[in-house]
Amino acid sequence: MYLFNCKLFLLSALLVLVGTTVVQAESEDADDEVTVETEEEDKYQSPQVSPDKVYLAEHFDDQAAFKKKWVKSEAKKQGVDENIAKYDGKWEIQAPMKKILKDDLGLVLTTEAKHAAISALLDRPFEFKDKPLIVQYEVTMQEGQNCGGAYIKLLSRGTNTKADLRKFYDQTPYTIMFGPDKCGNDNKLHFIFRHKNPVNGTIEEKHSKKPSQRLEDIYKDKEPHLYTLIVRPDNSFSVLIDEKEVNAGSLLEDFTPPVNPPEEIEDPNDKKPEDWDEREKIIDPTATKPEDWDEDAPAQIVDPNAVKPDGWLDDEPEMISDPDARKPSDWDEEMDGEWEAPLVDNPACASAPGCGPWRAPTIPNPAYKGKWRAPLIPNPEYKGKWSPRRIPNPHYFRDDAPFRMTPVHAIGFELWSMSPRLLFDNVLVTDDEHVAATWAQHTFHLKRAKIAKDSDSVVERALKYAGDNPWVYAVVILVAFLFVGFVAYLCCASKSQEPETSAKKTDAVTEDDPHSDGEPEDVEPEADQSEQPPEDTANEETTPLVDTEGAGDGQKKRKPRKE
514-537 per-position pLDDT tens digit? 444 444 444 444 444 444 444 444
Domain 53-263+402-453 CATH assignment equals 2.60.120.200: yes
Confidence of residue 464 (pLDDT cuts 50, 70, 90): low
User: Is omega for the bond preceding 257 within 30 degrees of 0, making it cis?
Assistant: yes
* Contact (Cβ atoms closer than 8 angstroms) between residue 54 and residue 427: no
198-249: pLDDT as tens digits:
888 899 999 999 887 778 888 888 899 999 999 999 999 999 999 999 999 9
Question: What pLDDT score was predicted for residue 138?
Answer: 95
Q: What is the pLDDT of residue 144?
A: 84
In this predicted model, what pLDDT tens digit does every residue of 416-447 receive, in sequence order? 888 889 999 999 999 999 999 999 999 999 98
* Higher local confidence (pLDDT), 482 or 508: 482
**Which residues touch 99 (CB under 8 Å, ≥6 apart)?**
none
Q: Tell me: the pLDDT tens digits for 38-77? A: 444 456 889 999 999 999 999 999 999 999 999 999 999 8
Quick one: pLDDT at residue 384?
Answer: 93
Least-confidence region, from 122-131, 401-410, 551-560: 551-560
pTM of the model: 0.60
**Does residue 40 contact residue 534 with C-beta atoms inside 8 Å?**
no
- pLDDT score, position 35: 32
Euclidean distance between CA atoms 4 and 488, whole angstroms: 12
Average per-residue pLDDT for the chain: 81
Helix ranges restricted to H, 322-404: 333-336
- Give yes or no for residue 470 having a pLDDT over 50: yes
Distance CA 168, CA 75 (A): 6
- Per-residue model confidence as pLDDT tens digits over 248-292: 999 999 999 999 999 999 999 999 999 999 999 999 999 999 988
Q: What's the confidence (pLDDT) of residue 487?
A: 73
Other Cβ atoms closer than 10 A to 229: 25
